Structure 1
Amino acid sequence: MMIWFFNKKKKEEQATEAASEQVADNAADVTPAGEVTPDELQGAAEEVAAEITEEATEENIAAEASQVDAPAPAQTPAPLMEKPDTKQGWFARLKSGLSLSSGKLAGGIADIFTKRKLDQNALDELEELLITADLGPATAAKLTAAIAKNRFDKEVTGEEIRTALADEIEKILTPVEKPLFTIDAKPFVILMVGVNGTGKTTTIGKLGQQFTREGKKVMLAAGDTFRAAAVAQLKVWGERIGCPVMAKDEGADAAALAYEALDRAEAEGADILMMDTAGRLQNKANLMEELSKIVRVIRKKNAAAPHAIVLVLDATVGQNAHSQLELFKEMVAITGLIVTKLDGTAKGGVLVSLAERFQMPVHAIGIGEGIDDLRPFAAADYARAIVGLDAASD
Structure 2
Amino acid sequence: MFSFFKKNSPADTPTTTETPAAPAAPQTSPAATDAPVQTSWLSRLKKGLSRTREQIGALGDIFSRRKIDEDLLEELETTLLMADCGVEATNTLIAELRRRWKHDKLETGAQLQQALAEALEKLLTPLQQPLGVDGHKPCILMLAGVNGAGKTTSIGKLAHHFQRQGKSVLLAAGDTFRAAAREQLQEWGRRNDVRVIAQDGGDPAAVAFDAINAAKARNIDVVMVDTAGRLPTQLHLMEEIAKVRRVIQKAEPSGPHEVLLVLDGNVGQNALAQLKAFDAAIGVTGLIITKLDGTAKGGVIAAIARQHPRPLRFIGVGEGMDDLQPFDAREFVAAIVYGDEPREAPHAG
Q: TM-score range by the shorter chain?
A: 0.7 to 0.9
C-alpha separation between the residues in 2 aligned to 1:240 and 1:299? 29
C-alpha separation between the residues in 1 aligned to 2:151 and 2:48? 20
C-alpha separation between the residues in 1 aligned to 2:74 and 2:158? 42
Q: Which range is displaced more, 144-153 or 168-177? A: 144-153
Cα RMSD for the two superposed structures: 2.2
Counterparts of 1:29-108 in structure 2 under 5 Å?
Answer: 83-84=33-34, 85-108=36-59
C-alpha separation between the residues in 1 aligned to 2:267 and 2:15? 32
C-alpha separation between the residues in 2 aligned to 1:202 and 1:116? 45
- Please state whether the residue corresponding to 2:262 is helix, strand or coil: strand
C-alpha separation between the residues in 2 aligned to 1:168 and 1:192? 31
Shift of residue 203, structure 1, vs aligned partner: 0.4
Corresponding residue of 2:151: 200
Q: How many residues align?
A: 315
Instruction: State whether structure 2 residue 159 is matched by structure 1 residue 211.
Output: no
Shift of residue 360, structure 1, vs aligned partner: 0.6
Corresponding residue of 2:99: 149
Pairing partner for 1:280 from 227, 230, 233: 230
- Please state whether the residue corresponding to 1:274 is helix, strand or coil: strand
Amino acid of the residue matched to residue 191 of structure 1?
M
Instruction: State whether structure 2 residue 322 is matched by structure 1 residue 372.
Output: yes
Corresponding residue of 2:189: 238
Shift of residue 34, structure 1, vs aligned partner: 8.4
Shift of residue 155, structure 1, vs aligned partner: 6.8
Distance 1:159 1:119, change over 3 A: closer
Shift of residue 282, structure 1, vs aligned partner: 7.8
CA contact (8 A) 1:341 1:366 kept: yes
Normalising by structure 2, we get a TM-score of 0.85
C-alpha separation between the residues in 2 aligned to 1:330 and 1:114? 45
C-alpha separation between the residues in 2 aligned to 1:356 and 1:335? 16
Shift of residue 158, structure 1, vs aligned partner: 3.4
Pairing partner for 2:274 from 324, 330, 333: 324
Corresponding residue of 1:191: 142
C-alpha separation between the residues in 1 aligned to 2:343 and 2:52? 22
- Please state whether the residue corresponding to 2:261 is helix, strand or coil: strand
Distance 1:130 1:347, change over 3 A: same
C-alpha separation between the residues in 2 aligned to 1:336 and 1:374? 15
Corresponding residue of 1:350: 300
Shift of residue 240, structure 1, vs aligned partner: 1.3
Corresponding residue of 1:134: 84
Instruction: State whether structure 2 residue 69 is matched by structure 1 residue 119.
Output: yes
CA displacement 1:328-365 (0-9 Å, x = unmatched)? 01210100001000000241111111112112100010
CA displacement 1:245-291 (0-9 Å, x = unmatched)? 000012x1111111111111111111110010011228612212111
Amino acid of the residue matched to residue 248 of structure 2?
I
Corresponding residue of 2:341: 391
Q: Which range is displaced more, 217-226 or 115-124? A: 115-124
Corresponding residue of 1:180: 131
Instruction: State whether structure 2 residue 198 is matched by structure 1 residue 224.
Output: no
Distance 1:247 1:150, change over 3 A: closer
C-alpha separation between the residues in 2 aligned to 1:386 and 1:114? 17
Distance 1:350 1:388, change over 3 A: same
Shift of residue 191, structure 1, vs aligned partner: 0.2
Shift of residue 109, structure 1, vs aligned partner: 4.3
Instruction: State whether structure 2 residue 314 is matched by structure 1 residue 333.
Output: no
Amino acid of the residue matched to residue 150 of structure 2?
G
Identity across the alignment (%): 45
Shift of residue 35, structure 1, vs aligned partner: 12
C-alpha separation between the residues in 1 aligned to 2:58 and 2:144? 36
Distance 1:158 1:103, change over 3 A: farther
Pairing partner for 1:315 from 265, 275, 290: 265
Corresponding residue of 1:46: none
Corresponding residue of 2:121: 170
CA displacement 1:201-242 (0-9 Å, x = unmatched)? 000000001111222110000000012311101001111111
Corresponding residue of 2:256: 306
Shift of residue 318, structure 1, vs aligned partner: 0.6
CA displacement 1:265-324 (0-9 Å, x = unmatched)? 111111110010011228612212111111111111211100000000000001110110
User: Tell me, which stretches of 5 or more residues in structure 1 are unaligned?
Assistant: 1-32, 37-81
Amino acid of the residue matched to residue 289 of structure 2?
V
Normalising by structure 1, we get a TM-score of 0.75
